[in-house]
Amino acid sequence: MAAPEETVSPVRRAVELSVLLGLLVAFLIVSVVIEAPTTAKRIGIVLGAGLTLVMYSFLYRDNPLFKIAENLYVGVALGYGAILTWKLSLKPEIVAPLILDPPHWAAFWGELARRIVPIILGLLLLTRLSRKYAWLSRYAYTLMVGWGAGIGIPIVAHSYILQQLQAAVRPLNAAAASDAGFWASGLAMLGALVILIGTVTVLFYFFFSVEHKGVGGAVSKVGIWFLMVSFGASFGYTVMGRVSLLIGRVQFLIYEWLQVPQ
Amino acid sequence: MAAPRGNTKWQTLARYVAYLVVAVAVLVPYVLPLPLTFKPSDWAKKLYDRVEALPEGSAVLFSFDYDPAAMAELYPMSLGLLRHCFRRNLRPIVMTHWPNGVGLCKQLVEKTAEEAGKTSGQDYVFLGYKPGGSNLVLNMGESLQGAFDRDYYGKPTEGMPALAEVKKLKDIPLVVDIAAGGTVEMWIAYGRDRFGFDLGAGCTAVIAPDLYPFLQSKQLCGFLGGLRGAADYETMLDKPEDATKGMQAQSLVHVFLIVLIISANIGYVWTRVVRGPED
């Protein structure tokens, strides 16, 4: 469902348009006064600065300039990705060794033999585009799923389950270094205890075969607290990440567009 | 669903004020540098010490798995790590799993190598991008030259001085993955746990909480999380740059956000007390 259109009075629209034009002129003047965009690098920086400011205009309200920049981003990312796939994968792995820069006859068969299975599997995946022959792609998918599961399951079980389990159930005193002082050892043991309690209570919270009542309910509630703390930590880190992106853009505007010396 | 309560005009205005304050908080440290200092975190220090403990000439593999979208956080830490390696005359081997990150990676490697006066193929090698993800890691574990028969510039890797005595992943004492996605977990499972090298990691703040369990289990030997991790590394290198300056802005914004969260909660409770609970 489309978002409801915000009703804006004609006067407000006229004021917004005037402010927008004023900002655009100011942006161009600042860009030209600092350094005329005559080199490819400078043109790139001015475009980047303009698009950055346009993206942030969304904070005021959705607007046509933001929409243009948004679509431009999607288009450029897609085009860039397609060119890179050609340049970094298809060309060096298949086209160059077999067609553009083929080795001598005997070596050619060796190169082809090394690549023929992946080429056929890749082509089979492309049959998804045809309704009639889409079933052929199942062979490639079957191989991918079978190979992925065969290789992945033991590795993942070892690294993500057994190793983690080992770290969670080791003796509490093993958390402290032998040369650590009383307080450091105490804190390390406390940390190990908190991890143990957190692991057990959160696992219990996700154990649905027993009704969470009485002692079980209390344990499950402790599990919820641990989950809440974990969500809070994740949210805090996410805020930090988003603010870092803003800082990165501000540094770009200050040091590269406005050329303020560091 | 009940209609939202409260004065929406005031709420909209409050939103604009919040944006404005955040903008000012980010800009202030660039106009008036603040006397804020911070101590590097233990996990950042462990990664620094691991690099410091490597004998001169050791190979260090860097997998820079990010693109320009994560540049603000990960570029400064990559810069710091490469500078540290070149300063210590180590041999960085640089690659990426992200095709969109190749240009950034190349710029990073060439910039730091030029600063240190190092030569491609001799003192370091830039392998570029290869598709495959976890398959590529397994392949590198069998034969590095088999996985990358040429470097990014098209030179054969066989017999390259920068790769002397490095035939497979287990010949590399330290691998560092700087990631904006799930590649650290992939390096742990398919690389470190299988081939037995030390693995350090740097990542965006968003995915940092996912990696703490691997620190506790010692599957990671050191860790840099977000802009703070990058600033930690700059501090230890005694070369404060973008990340250190960025952390001043970060700190101011965090103070404002804490005040905002507390005041918003007080406002919420106050509204419930005055107007009673919602239907």
**B205 near A247, Cβ under 8 Å?**
no
Quote the DSSP letter at residue B3.
P
Determine the residue among A164, A243, A251 to mutate to test chain B binding: the one whose Cβ has the most chain B Cβ atoms within 10 Å: A243
Per-residue confidence (pLDDT) for residue A4, from 0 to 100: 55
Task: Of A72-81, B35-44, B224-233, give the lowest mean pLDDT range.
Answer: B35-44
Mean pLDDT of B117-141: 95
Q: Chain B contact for A18, CB < 8 A?
A: no
**DSSP alpha helices (H): ranges in chain A?**
10-34, 40-56, 64-85, 105-126, 137-156, 163-169, 182-205, 214-251
- Contact check, Cβ <8 Å, B217/A163: yes
pLDDT of B3 higher than 50: no
pLDDT at B2 over 50: no
More confident residue, B144 or A207: B144
pTM equals 0.88
Tokens representing B138 are 């397994």
Residues of chain B in contact with residue A159, where contact means CB-CB under 8 angstroms, are 188-189, 193, 219
Model pLDDT, residue B277: 66
Q: Indicate the residue of B73, B99, B185 with minimum beta-carbon distance to A244.
A: B73
Query: CA nearest A261 in B: which residue?
Result: B30
Cross-strand pairs, B178: B64, B202
Q: Nearest Cβ partner of A59 from B19, B71, B250?
A: B19
Q: Among partner residues A93, A155, A251, which is closest to B190 by beta-carbon distance?
A: A155
**pLDDT recorded at residue A176:** 66
* CB atoms A237 and B218 under 8 Å: no
Query: Quick check: B120 pLDDT over 60?
Result: yes
Between CA B162 and CA A207 the distance in angstroms is 53
- Strand B125-129 and strand B174-179: the pairing is unpaired
In this structure, which amino acid lies at residue A193? L
Q: State whether B246 and A240 contact (CB < 8 Å).
A: no
Residue recorded with tokens 């079978």: A146
Reply yes or no on whether the pLDDT at A175 is more than 80. Answer: no
ipTM over 0.85: yes
In sequence order, which residues have a C-beta less than 8 Å from that of residue A138 and are 6 or more positions away?
A: none
Cβ contact (<8 Å) for B246 and A248?
Answer: yes
Confidence band, pLDDT 50/70/90 cuts, at residue A178:
low
Q: List the domains of chain B with CATH numbers.
A: 42-245 (3.40.50)
Please indicate if any CB of chain A lies within 8 Å of the CB of B138.
yes
pLDDT digits 0-9 by tens, A84-137: 889 988 998 899 888 888 777 778 888 888 889 999 999 999 999 999 999 999
User: What are B65's strand-pairing partners?
Assistant: B179
| B176 within 8 A of B202, measured Cβ to Cβ | yes
Contact B99 A84 (CB under 8 A): yes
Q: Which of A12-26, B62-76, B105-119, B197-211 is predicted least confidently? A: A12-26
| Least confident window among A95-109, A227-241, B59-73 | A95-109
Mean pLDDT value across residues A19-30: 92
pLDDT surpassing 60 at residue A57: yes
The enclosing H or E element of B142 equals helix B134-142
The residue assigned the tokens 């009940």 is B2
